[in-house]
Chains A and B, each alone.
Chain A
Amino acid sequence: MAHAQESHTKRIWIVFGFLCIITMVEVALGIVKPEGLYFTQFLGTSLLNWIFIILTLVKAYYIVWAFMHLEGEKKWFRRAIVWTVVFLISYLVTLLLIEGGYLFETLAPLVKWDY
């Protein structure tokens, strides 16, 4: 732990630059859509989408750790927050996405597309 009166503006600007770079990479990938990533399916969605999701989680990590300063909190306070949220959200998302896939498989054959 650093000294109390010390300013941490340098770290803040570094994190800001990092978040901007990640966002720019996301936007560039979103515009270019490299074929190898865009058309390769992996675990239910394209590789490109997985890259977006991972980059988003990296961004979330930096916002929560550096800006919301979770890294400076007591270990179990941190865990009370992060473990709860991560567990409940993964649970909910897993169930709902599996259900969404099932609904598609069941309902899509019933949709008439050509007249």
Chain B
Amino acid sequence: MEATIAVKSEEKNAWDGGGSRPFGASYGKMMMWFFIVSDALTFSGFLAAYGLTRFKFIDSWPIADQVFNHFPFIHGDHPMLFVALMTFILIFSSVTMVLAVDAGHRMKKTQVTWYMLLTIIGGLIFLGSQAWEWKNFIGGTYGAVKTTEGQVLQFVKEGHQIALSDFVVGAHGERTTHTRENGLWFESEAALPTYSLQQVISSYEHNPSVLIRTEEIDLETKEKKILSREEGSRYLLMATKVVEGANLTENEYGKTLFADFFFFITGFHGFHVFSGILINIIVFFNVILGTYEKRGHYNMVEKVGLYWHFVDLVWVFVFTFFYLV
């Protein structure tokens, strides 16, 4: 497997940072490794903070299967599948990357070019998938109401969560969104939710098959608690607003921190993917121009490869701790 090292450790001139060659690694490769070490610590800091918060709210944290359940072109409840697909895409682009490094070691310019191109395409598909995931998360699927204590109440029917639009009658009729044009010119507000709180509550009262699910997890069954009709009415008295979708201050899935961590961790990872694609594109054009052919080695492909594999490595952990555990 040392074929993936573009410059053999035994070769002379592997170290450009001075006379001695510590560990027989080239300067650039060693520095890439040390960067990866520090970046790994940054990501582990994020994930460990997520772990702390999750243990802190172990009895009320959102259940990932109930949040990420979309799959393109298929309706219904499909947890895990889309994120598994994203994992396969990223692992596959990692494979094409390592094949590019391997071909670079054998000085096969055409092969390196094609494998780099495939890697870039894989990265772009992954980034697109992540954008789609964010779109679903931000837009929300079901909608919920929030109580005075910041708890989120969701609506279920026959054990499955239902959207507000599935049972709420009528549209938001009390008032229109306050924009700059129709009110005080120096004030505006976010778009109003589709339904007003009063409509949600009265629709709940008129539809006996709708039940309310709280954030609280029954530690025995590991399911969110579902209230009886009477309890539900009592809880709804404490409702203050309708929440649709997610942002940094509230979300329909439950704990605000859940959305914050989701945006922060997957966003930071996505930014890594994005910058990895940019560097890959630069290296790709250098390969085409024959820069590395003239230089006599494909060391640069190996270095960007290390970064790209690291991005894949981080995703493996994000996948586990955000979606599986």
Contacts and interface: CB of A to CB of B under 8 A. Distances in A.
B169 interface: no
Nearest to A92: B48
A6 B309 CA distance: 22
B214 interface: yes
Interface stretch (B55-63, B187-195, B201-209, B275-283): B55-63
A6 B1 CA distance: 9
Interface of B: 1-5, 8-9, 22-25, 30, 33, 36-37, 40-41, 44-45, 48-49, 51-60, 65, 79-81, 84, 87-88, 91-92, 94-95, 97-99, 102, 105-106, 147, 149, 214, 216, 222, 231, 234-235, 237-238, 305-306, 309-310, 312-313, 316-317, 319-320, 323-325
Contacts of A8: 1, 3-4, 102
A65 to B, nearest CB: 8
In order of increasing CB-CB distance, the 8 nearest A-B pairs are: A100-B55, A72-B2, A77-B23, A100-B52, A103-B56, A96-B52, A56-B320, A27-B84
Contact of A85 (B5, B41, B91, B231): B41
A5 to B, nearest CB: 6
A43 interface: no
Contacts of A67: 4, 94-95, 97-98, 305, 309, 312
Contacts of B48: 89, 92-93, 96-97
Interface residues of A, number: 64
Interface of A: 1-2, 4-9, 11-13, 16, 19-20, 23-24, 26-27, 30-31, 38-39, 45, 49, 52-53, 55-56, 59-60, 63-64, 66-69, 71-74, 76-77, 80-81, 84-85, 88-89, 92-93, 96-97, 99-101, 103-104, 107-108, 111-115
Contact of A108 (B51, B59, B81, B237): B59
Contacts of A107: 56
Nearest to B1: A8
A107 B52 CA distance: 13
23 contacts: A4-B105, A8-B102, A13-B95, A26-B84, A26-B324, A30-B323, A49-B325, A56-B316, A60-B313, A66-B1, A66-B98, A69-B4, A74-B23, A76-B23, A77-B24, A92-B44, A96-B52, A100-B55, A104-B56, A107-B56, A112-B149, A115-B234, A115-B238
Contacts of A55: 320
Given A60-B316, A104-B59, A84 B37 contact: yes
B146 to A, nearest CB: 13
B316 A113 contact: no
B324 A23 contact: no
A76 to B, nearest CB: 7
B143 to A, nearest CB: 21
Q: State the main secondary structure of chain B at its contact with A.
A: helix
Given A30-B80, A67-B97, A81-B33, 17 more contacts: A4-B105, A8-B102, A12-B98, A16-B95, A26-B84, A30-B79, A30-B324, A31-B79, A53-B325, A59-B316, A60-B316, A76-B23, A93-B51, A97-B51, A100-B51, A101-B55, A104-B57
Contacts of B99: 9, 12
Contact of B45 (A49, A92, A111): A92
B3 A7 contact: yes
A39 B222 contact: yes
Contacts of A114: 231
A93 B43 CA distance: 12
A96 B95 contact: no
Contacts of B56: 100, 103-104, 107
A86 to B, nearest CB: 10
Contact of A89 (B40, B55, B214, B320): B40
Contacts of A93: 44, 48, 51
Given A72-B5, A93-B51, A23 B98 contact: no
Contacts of A24: 84
B106 A52 contact: no
Nearest to A59: B316
